[in-house]
A and B are shown apart, each in its own frame.
Chain A
Amino acid sequence: MTQSPWLKSLRTPGVALALTLSAGAVQAEDPIKVGILHSLSGTMAISETTLKDTMLMLVEEQNRNGGLLGRQLQPVVVDPASDWPLFAERTRQLLEQDQVDVIFGVWTSVARKSVLPVVEELNGILFYPVQYEGEESSRNIFYTGAAPNQQAIPAVEYLMNEYGIERWVLAGTDYVYPRTTNRILEAFLKAHGVADEDIMINYTPFGHSDWQSIVADIRRFGSQGKPTAVVSTINGDANVPFYRELGNQGISAEDIPVIAFSVGEEELSGMDTRPLVGHLAAWNYFMSVDTPENAAFIDKWHDFIGDTRRVTNDPMEAHYIGFNMWVQAVEAAGTTDVDTVIDALKGVTVPNLTGGMAEMLVNHHITKPVLIGEIQEDGQFLVVWQTDDLIPGDAWSPHLPGSRDIIADWTPPISCGNFNTVTQTCSGQNY
């Protein structure tokens, strides 16, 4: 250990403070304010703290390179403490009191749903960096994480084609993201001829720790002579006991592979990875991807955080893309005015870290490559498959009966996040 951990944690707020001070002192003109809305305490701190640090790093770097429009950027960090109503309150505070020009933040879908009406009412811009269930498109939110067609669907297709999987366990934590994703997946699987009895759907409470019976069920389900896989939307904390139980009951990735949508490098760094080796995850970015952009990003991150053992992950890349898109749009627009920037953001392309360009689409989602990785002992992923092309994100899933005819298009003449192409009407509700 090179630095005691608590020194490290003191360091980052210090940087923020220093930035704030220097920005105020040097620049005569008002700085551009960048709101950072990530939980630094409570249950979600485990995932969101890193994103706060990522944003501080990006802002710091931008300032070192001369700021934006000749002005310095000033990060405004607030802590919504993993409390959903508090997310809405903090958003209000950022937009009304602090008058930020843009917000980067939010992790869980429930927090996003509580922030959404506030950013719409106060006309802000929110960049949302996490993979999510789709079925939403707000004029004021830019979704830089994966929609289901950029993560879940390609993952299932991969297992079907490469593994010849015929039986599916859809296991998830009991909340909106797994439920919606599994609904989409179930419809997708059935459309591909998978019978009802070959799909097992299982939900567990948050932080579920006793997986014995469920894993035994999965084992039985998988020993009926057909190749079986588990598609896991199990959230954060429940994963460790889940994979441990799989390992203990002797289920290897070769027998029943588990493909996860919520297990990334960051989560793996807090687990004993041995029982996970060979299991899969689908993301749009892996730290192990060998590109010059990625190598540079990882170096920057290590320099900033002062610990070379820290990992990078998919939502960090999403913030990287989102921040660069916003910077580019502001530069193109020559102003930070929200309406002008929202218009300027459409069609913006910036490089992503795995090679290729991410483009902001008219439905406020972006194009992404999809990568499938196998977990290695060192907590990194070995990329075993990736899409040839970039996949444009679908705001509304074509696999669900309710949203099949709905599109989101924030350019005139439609300018609607929930537009029914059959009835040619905008539902008026933008999410």
Chain B
Amino acid sequence: MTVHCNAPPHGRGWHSTARRDSAPGPAGASAPDAVAAASTQPTGLRRSRAHAWFVAGFLLLLGGSLHAEPQILASQPPTTEPAMTTTGFTIVAQADPYASDFFDPSLLDAGAEARETETAEADDDLLDEAAYEALEEAAPDVDLLIQRLPEGNFNDRRAVAEELAATGDPRVPVVLGALLEGRLLATAEDPPRILIRAETGRAGRDALTGEPVDADLIASGRRIPVHNPLRNALRSLIAVSTLSAPDPERRATSLRRLMRDDVSPDLLEYLDDRVELEDDPRVMDLLLTVRALARLNVDDAQVRLESVELLRGSLLSEVRVRLEATANRDDDPEVRAAAREALDSIEARIRFFRFTENLFFGLSAGSVLLLAAIGLAITFGVMGVINMAHGELIMIGAYTTWFIQTLMPGALSTSILLAIPAAFVVAGLVGIAMERGVIQFLYGRPLETLLATFGISLILQQAVRTLFSPLNRPVQSPDWLSGTLQVNPVLALTWSRIYIFIFAIMVFVALLLVMKKTSLGLKVRAVAQNRPMARALGVRTGWVDALTFGLGAGIAGVAGVALSQLTNVGPNMGQAYIIDSFMVVVFGGVGNLWGTFVGALGLGMMTKFLEPHTGAVLAKILVLIFIILFIQRRPRGLFPKKGRAAEA
């Protein structure tokens, strides 16, 4: 099949002739073929309901044909690589139809790729006229269809979108893309004006003409609603057209979509061309995988076997599903065996990564426990105060985060970083007030301390309910705290967990330094070991007590900042952590910071390795039973205090 490149200076994008029997042959010698092949297209297309919109979209977007020789008219400037042509598709790619910034260039590669050269213009002037006229004739249909988008329910909308995709009009991928992203608006007029809101800012353009419209009109437009099934359908409809987008991220997205949609072997030739053109290594990987998946359906057993070999290294779930199908259903026993073997090797690798994933989950659960417990390791571990209000100090830290975030909207990262010292100070001051106000009178009377601090915890909870509201407060996460570090398709580590792990370690190290290297730490340890002796040596024990309690409370507040990124911020949040915190401190050994460290990470690991087998509820029970039994054998925990201090 010959290639016909035309880059009309004022064409309206690339399009197919499929629906336009009246279209004059736009492409020289082979044009009659093109029209003939294309005009038989619609009937052939409707034949298979199963292929549904994916095939319809693909074919008609590119104007090709499954049954007849695929043929897509393209205006590829002669300067670009001719690779696309080997598909037997002739792709009409033209310059941007309306304005260079209207078409999201990544949606429509043609505009970007077709750098208009003067030669192209000169060569194809005639052709272009013809194509343009063809479009002119067809355009009203498309306009009407686009105007019908706001009508009816989601299924009507899907039907219109499919029809639109079938027209191959260059505006369609843009319009559908905007619809997908919720940026397609309709005014209340009749017929409605369809507008596209820009990705950023309040400006926008008319979807039909591409002319810019003012922000007021955009603001008056109502978003055309989409729901998940429709979104999925739209993604499939525009997947093939974005396969050649300049933005590698978009190419990757569309490849992943193709993978899900069961790649049709009819795409193979086009994929071959993309392989020639692709320059991004990551997209290349995906592309090769998609091609190998498509080749699993070809008749030649040797090709299928090669594809299976190629897929052996992939961890993608789509690949596994397809290999599983091949292993069970392929006609050729050799291919079946190869697929089974490939699956086994993939499974073995997955097992390893699942173990790694569990390890990560355990470490991260442990780091949350560590953060929650580390403040208690000071107040309970070092000072021996059973502080039942520890959870509420965490809550105060979390509310501080929320408060700072509401004070400075738009500066998420700064507010989180600022919240760390602020939460330390606020929770620390509350802690000092508690110590001076209540706890100092109750030293040596653990039962009464327990009851008093429990009362304080209830008071703090209800105070927050009355002051703010009983409702949870929304705390947002900055972008760097959300999302995942995708190591490979089966191992993804969430950023927030990674940061919280690092943060927990930092807090622990900082606390360790305070205790071992500062004079406050020295005094704290002295008072904890022998109060009368410390006092005799001139340490103001009351003052040290207050500061120590404030330090523990402040660290609980800092933990609240971290937890606000993981869970609810509400009046009850503290209660979720109080039992876990005591568990960790008791398990690790009262009075030993390293014990808390090992205890927290150990319990986190244990929970996470139990959970997949037992479920969350039973895992929790088993851990509790384990601790009870452990305390029976070693009442002082993992790392008991030794020497005279232990007896005190």
A positions within 8 Å CB-CB of B: 5-6, 9, 40-41, 43, 45-46, 49, 162-163, 174, 202-205, 207-210, 212-214, 216-217, 220, 223-225, 237, 240-241, 244-245, 247-250, 253-254, 257, 266-267, 269-275, 278, 280, 374, 382, 384
Contacts and interface: CB of A to CB of B under 8 A. Distances in A.
Q: Taking each of A202, A205, A273, which has the highest tally of chain B beta carbons within 10 Å of its own beta carbon?
A: A205
B228 A253 contact: yes
Contact of B567 (A40, A205, A209, A212): A209
A181 B470 CA distance: 27
Contacts of A163: 228-229
- Among B358, B566, B568, the one with the most A-chain Cβ atoms within 10 Å of its Cβ is B568
B506 to A, nearest CB: 21
**Which label, helix, strand, loop or mixed, suits the secondary structure of the A interface?**
mixed
B608 A240 contact: no
B497 A212 contact: yes
Contacts of B611: 213-214
Given A207-B575, A214-B611, A270-B472, 20 more contacts: A5-B467, A45-B571, A46-B570, A163-B228, A203-B617, A205-B616, A210-B368, A224-B317, A225-B325, A244-B566, A248-B496, A248-B497, A249-B484, A250-B492, A254-B232, A271-B474, A272-B476, A278-B231, A374-B227, A374-B228
B71 interface: no
Contact of B572 (A9, A43, A249): A43
A129 B357 CA distance: 43
Interface string B598-620: 00000000011001100111001
Contacts of B571: 45-46
B617 A174 contact: yes
A245 B494 contact: yes
Contacts of A210: 365, 368, 607
A209 B566 contact: yes
B471 interface: yes
Interface centre among B467, B496, B569, B570 (most CB of A within 10 A): B570
A46 B470 contact: yes
A223 B321 CA distance: 8
Nearest to A39: B470
Contacts of A257: 228
17 contacts: A45-B571, A49-B470, A49-B471, A203-B617, A205-B620, A207-B575, A209-B567, A213-B608, A217-B612, A225-B324, A237-B573, A244-B496, A244-B566, A248-B483, A254-B232, A270-B474, A278-B231
A254 B231 contact: yes
Interface string B202-245: 00000000000000000000000101110110010000000000
Top 4 A-B residue pairs of the complex, sorted by shortest distance between their CB atoms? A270-B472, A223-B317, A225-B321, A45-B470
B340 interface: no
B466 interface: yes
B250 interface: no
Interface string B458-481: 000110011111111111110000
Given A163-B228, A213-B358, A248 B474 contact: no
B129 interface: no
Given A5-B469, A382-B225, A247 B321 contact: no
A41 B235 CA distance: 47
A204 B616 contact: yes
Contacts of B482: 247-248, 275
A213 B361 contact: yes
A220 B322 CA distance: 15
Interface string B607-645: 110011001110010000000000000000000000000
B494 A249 contact: yes
A250 B484 contact: yes
A280 B566 CA distance: 22
B594 interface: no
A382 B227 CA distance: 9
A384 B154 CA distance: 8
Contacts of A46: 470-472, 570-572
A257 to B, nearest CB: 6
Please indicate which of the listed interface residues B365, B470, B571 has the most CB atoms of chain A within 10 Å of its own CB: B470
B321 A224 contact: yes
Given A204-B617, A207-B572, A212-B365, A225 B477 contact: no
A212 B620 CA distance: 15
Contacts, number: 149
A213 B317 contact: no
Interface in B469-528: 469-477, 482-484, 486, 492, 494-497
B318 interface: yes
A270 B467 contact: no
Contacts of A266: 471
Interface string B85-119: 00000000000000000000000000000000000
Kindly name the residue among B231, B361, B368, B469 whose own CB sees the greatest number of chain A CB atoms within 10 A: B469
A272 B477 contact: yes
A6 B494 contact: no
B50 interface: no
Contact of B469 (A9, A212, A223, A278): A9
B566 A241 contact: yes
B537 interface: no
Contacts of A225: 317-318, 321-322, 324-325
A209 B576 contact: yes
Contacts of B569: 270
A241 B567 contact: yes
B251 to A, nearest CB: 18
B307 interface: no
Contacts of A270: 471-474, 568-570
Nearest to B477: A272
A5 B403 CA distance: 13
A291 B225 CA distance: 18
A45 B465 contact: yes
B453 interface: no
Contacts of A41: 461-462, 465
B364 interface: yes
Contacts of A162: 229
Contacts of B469: 5, 9, 49
A212 B474 contact: no
A208 B568 CA distance: 11
B467 A6 contact: yes
A144 B33 CA distance: 68
B475 A272 contact: yes
A248 B497 CA distance: 10
Contacts of B612: 213, 217
Interface centre among B325, B471, B620 (most CB of A within 10 A): B471
A116 B473 CA distance: 33
Contacts of B494: 212, 245, 248-249
Nearest to A209: B567
Interface in B352-411: 357-358, 361, 364-365, 368
Interface in B537-581: 566-573, 575-576
A45 B496 CA distance: 30
A269 B471 contact: yes
A254 B260 CA distance: 12
Contact of B492 (A223, A249, A384): A249
Nearest to B324: A225
Given A5-B469, A212-B364, A272-B476, A248 B321 contact: no
Nearest to B458: A41
Interface string B345-357: 0000000000001
Interface in B153-209: 154
B466 A237 contact: no
B470 A248 contact: no
Contacts of A275: 482
B616 A208 contact: yes
A112 B228 CA distance: 37
A384 B230 CA distance: 11
A212 B617 contact: no
Contacts of B325: 225
A41 B462 CA distance: 7
Contact of A237 (B232, B568, B615): B568
